């Protein structure tokens, strides 16, 4: 999908949620997922997959009709399984409750109904099924990390500030709709381009760098511009 299609045709528009509000909602569930994933000691690619699953879900479903944090919790549980870094559901639920309620689960048990945890568990399981059917059971997510490290290693740039900054830009980019618009190698190319520009690093002597990424100048600039908006 193009950026225009994603922003203009979002189901949330029909429910009165404008672009600025939707961007904010996307940012909050991504931050929630980042914190939740780190608490569960999950690798960054798994956390990133959960974010992309949420993006794919909300490009098809309205924010007005679904609790984004509930969907995010279910998405992380799914992502962890699909990336072969599975965590027990109860562990995911406890960590989610900690961030959502800002209280330890043992303390919450004194404040909420006796069966609240079981009810929450059922809601997350239902959300998991909703994500699966909405996405037609397509959970495969490709990330730019592989193309980025492969190309920079080939060019002898694997232990440089360029790689570190590009990785950081990619992590920031997860909070946008880039993964719905571009292929992983194109996002990697845009991140390298912006990182080099930020570091004032001349890449002209690496004549084939953009061919290695298989990305056109127009696409590279588009990705870089959208990443810049997040900085």
Q: What is the 3-state secondary structure (H, E, C) of 191-224?
A: HHHHHHHHCCCCCCCCCCHHHHHCCCHHHHHHHH
Closest CA to 165 of 216, 199, 116: 199
Residue 66 DSSP symbol: S
Domain boundary among 70, 105, 135: 135
Q: Residue 74 has what pLDDT? A: 97
Q: How many angstroms separate the CA atoms of 113 and 91, rounded? A: 20
State residue 70 phi and psi, 5-degree precision: -65, -45
Same-domain pairing of 98 and 185: no
Same-domain pairing of 78 and 155: no
Same-domain pairing of 125 and 153: no
Same-domain pairing of 109 and 197: no
Q: Which domain holds residue 94?
A: 3-135
Instruction: Report the predicted TM-score, pTM, of the whole model to 2 decimal places.
Output: 0.90
Q: Residue 158 has what pLDDT? A: 83
Same-domain pairing of 170 and 115: no
Q: How many angstroms separate the CA atoms of 209 and 154, rounded? A: 10
Same-domain pairing of 36 and 95: yes
Q: Residue 207 has what pLDDT? A: 80
Closest CA to 191 of 165, 210, 152, 161: 165
pLDDT along the chain (231 residues), means of 10: 92 94 95 95 96 97 95 97 95 86 54 71 96 95 94 90 95 95 97 96 88 93 95 79
**Local structure of 135: helix, strand or coil:** coil
Q: How many angstroms separate the CA atoms of 83 and 80, rounded? A: 5
Same-domain pairing of 222 and 190: yes
CATH number at residue 192: 1.10.472.10
Same-domain pairing of 67 and 120: yes
- Cα 5–chain centre separation: 19
CB 61 within 8 A of CB 134: yes
Same-domain pairing of 16 and 129: yes
Q: Residue 102 has what pLDDT? A: 58
Domain boundary among 80, 107, 135: 135
Domain boundary among 68, 100, 135: 135
* Domains identified in the chain, total number: 2
Same-domain pairing of 55 and 17: yes
């Amino acid at each position: 999908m193009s950026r225009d299609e994603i922003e203009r045709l979002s189901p949330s528009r029909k429910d009165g949620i404008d672009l600025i509000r939707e961007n904010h909602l996307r940012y909050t569930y991504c931050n929630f997922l980042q914190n939740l994933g780190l608490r569960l000691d999950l690798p960054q690619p798994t956390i990133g997959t959960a974010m992309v699953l949420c993006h794919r879900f909300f490009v098809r479903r309205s924010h007005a009709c679904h609790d984004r944090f509930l969907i995010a919790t279910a998405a992380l549980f799914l992502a962890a399984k699909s990336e072969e870094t599975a965590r027990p559901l109860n562990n995911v639920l406890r960590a989610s409750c900690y961030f959502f309620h800002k209280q330890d689960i043992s303390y919450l048990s004194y404040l909420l109904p006796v069966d609240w945890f079981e009810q929450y568990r059922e809601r997350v399981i239902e959300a998991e099924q909703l994500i699966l059917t909405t996405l037609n059971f397509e959970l495969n997510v490709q990330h730019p990390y592989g193309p980025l490290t492969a190309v920079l290693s080939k060019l002898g740039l694997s232990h440089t500030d360029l790689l570190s900054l590009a990785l950081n830009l990619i992590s920031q980019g997860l909070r946008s709709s880039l993964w719905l618009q571009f292929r992983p190698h194109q996002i990697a190319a845009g991140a390298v381009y912006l990182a080099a520009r930020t570091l004032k690093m001349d890449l002209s002597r690496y004549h084939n760098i953009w061919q290695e990424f298989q990305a056109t100048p127009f696409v590279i600039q588009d990705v870089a511009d959208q990443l810049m908006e997040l900085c």
